[in-house]
Structure 1
Amino acid sequence: MSEEKHIPVHNLTYQEFQLTTLENGHPENFNDVHRHNFFEILWFKEVKDDSHLELDFENYHLKSNHICIIAPGQVFNMKLRGEKGYVFAISREIFQEICDVELILTNGAAPFFPDYESRKNCQGIIKLLEDEYHRNCRMNLIKAYLKAFCIIITEDLTSQEPLLHDKQRIQKLITLIDTYYITQKETRFYAEKLSISAHHLNDIVRISRGTTVKKMIAQRLLLEAKRELSFGALTVKEVAFRLGFNDSSYFSRFFKKHSGYSPEQFKNMND
């Protein structure tokens, strides 16, 4: 039985791009745990004191002017309580044209604050987007506006990275981990792919992200394990084998070390 039978997958059915608002009848049903097969940008212009969303099992308290980017495959849940803001639903193909930040293409972006100048510029772009979307809907022009919007908001996300070359290596590392994390769990493999030493790669990761390559791989494994255990029909042993663990007891120790719960406890919590 596939896990899609347990996690509803929301699709972009007849358009490559949809622009709607949170307050004016957004077509997607937010009120369930679900995944997308597209990218979604949420700009929460006004929220309630207790507004929050859940993204890949992490709970985020929302504040006004938070922006969140949800990538395909991420597990998302939010109950709307009268929040106001914008929702962009963007096909994978268009998003890959307008955004070149691997970190976001792979993992989306948890709620973050653009600075005041960025918000002001983005508001002007959205006005242009709304006019074009509801009148002529010329996709080349819409893509240009979306690209401008993404450049502005992603600059805020990447401005803290130390060096451009190291930033590019980190983005490439994230993509490599997402591709190989089940079969390749050693730092040396990723260092060789990036043509640097394992020691140098760990230095870059430690300085720019405050962690290690091993921990990044472990967090990616843990996330997939949580997805499978929460919504899939697989047993703990089946999840262990699917994620490349030959010994289910070792998988259980790994899961508890990184989450604080045994796989069985976590599975029961989400039944």
Structure 2
Amino acid sequence: MPPPEKNIPTHHLTSEQFQLTTLETGHPENFNDVHRHNFFEIIWFSHVKEDSYLELDFESHYLKNNQICIIAPGQVFNMKLKGEKGYVLAVSREIFKEVCDIEMILTGGTCPFLLDVQGRKACSTLISLMEEEYNGASRIDLLKAYLQAFCIIIKEQINLQNTSINDRQRIQKLIGLIEEHYIIQRETNFYADQLKISTHHLNDIVRLSRGTTVKKMIAQRLLLEAKRELSFGALTVKEIAFKLGFSDASYFSRFFKKHSGRNPDNFKVGKA
């Protein structure tokens, strides 16, 4: 008999479209080993330990006080709680897309980012209002209004830590385009054409804001999907190669080893 398929557990919102808990009192299932969500999750780490870290899509991120991380549906997440303090907002896709227009978050969440003093005060006020309403009348329209204001503050904080407005908008659009087309479109000129700028200009923007190139961004997205499939899927290496648009398994294996330092067969065994 073939081995049973090993899938990444997916956490779902139950009867509510919006949930607010704290890291101190939240259900441990929220952070139980590797998992993904079918909803958006906003985590505000108000106080962390010296060695606190989380894993997001196989990348480790050490945490600081007053960082926020936004996890998009489908992202692979893992964290072992060690007494950190803060808030967890679980928001359905429908509500999140209604109140938040930050394209890069809608397509791929965010790595942890810091709140400055002003942003921290505003977010603290809004969280208090949300908490009071959630534990009281829990009027969804009011909760959505508070959440929308919270997202406005978040957007400002992200913008403060990014590049110029035009370049930032292009990067956000590029992330969405790569998410949509990375399996079949791997050439920089396709994305430059979509953004109506030259390939040279696009690579300059990406290099200055991200420290990388468009080609490497596409490769990293392919690598991430390959790791997801190898870690938790039931497909063979050959099947994964064709699913990700590679012409043959050997080409896929060379690509995977070049970008990860490991053979896909070894990675699959190591994660099994």
Q: TM-score, normalised by structure 1?
A: 0.94
- Cα deviation for residue 170 of structure 1 reads 1.2
| Cross-structure match for 1:130 | 131
SS in 1 for 2:31: coil
Aligned to 1:61: 62
**Equivalent in the alignment of 1:206:** 207
What one-letter code is carried by the residue in structure 2 that aligns with 1:123? S
Kept after mapping to 1: 8 A contact 2:5/2:234:
no
Q: Which 5+ residue runs of structure 1 have no aligned equivalent? A: none
Structure 1 residues 243-263: Cα deviation after superposition (integer angstroms, max 9, x where no partner): 000121111111111111111
Q: CA deviation at 1:208?
A: 2.1
Unaligned runs of 5+ in 2: none
Residue in 2 that maps onto 1:157: 158
Matches within 5 A, 1:163-174: 163-174=164-175
> Which residue matches 1:49?
50
Correspondences of 1:184-203 after superposition (within 5 Å): 184-203=185-204
Distance apart, 1:4 and its partner CA? 8.5
| Matched pairs, number | 270
Tell me which residue corresponds to 1:228.
Answer: 229
Aligned residue identity for 1:14: S
Assess if the C-alpha contact under 8 Å between 2:11 and 2:37 holds in 1: yes
Cα distance in 2 for partners of 1:161, 1:48 equals 27
Aligned to 2:86, what secondary structure does the other structure show? strand
CA contact (8 A) 1:31 1:80 kept: no
Task: Give me the TM-score of the superposition, normalised by structure 2.
Answer: 0.94
1:246 and 2:237 are equivalent in the alignment:
no
Runs of 4+ with >3 A deviation: none
Corresponding position of 2:263: 262
CA separation in 2, counterparts of 1:124 and 1:245? 50
RMSD value over aligned CA atoms? 1.8
Provide the identity percentage.
Answer: 69
1:216-261 deviation digits (Å, cap 9, x = unpaired): 1001001101111111111111111110001211111111111111
SS at match of 2:118: helix
Please give the alpha-carbon distance, in whole angstroms, between the structure 2 residues aligned to 1:110 and 1:28. 21
1:11, 1:36 within 8 Å by CA — same for their partners in 2?
yes
Residue deviations 1:98-117 (CA, integer Å, cap 9, x gap): 22111111111112211111
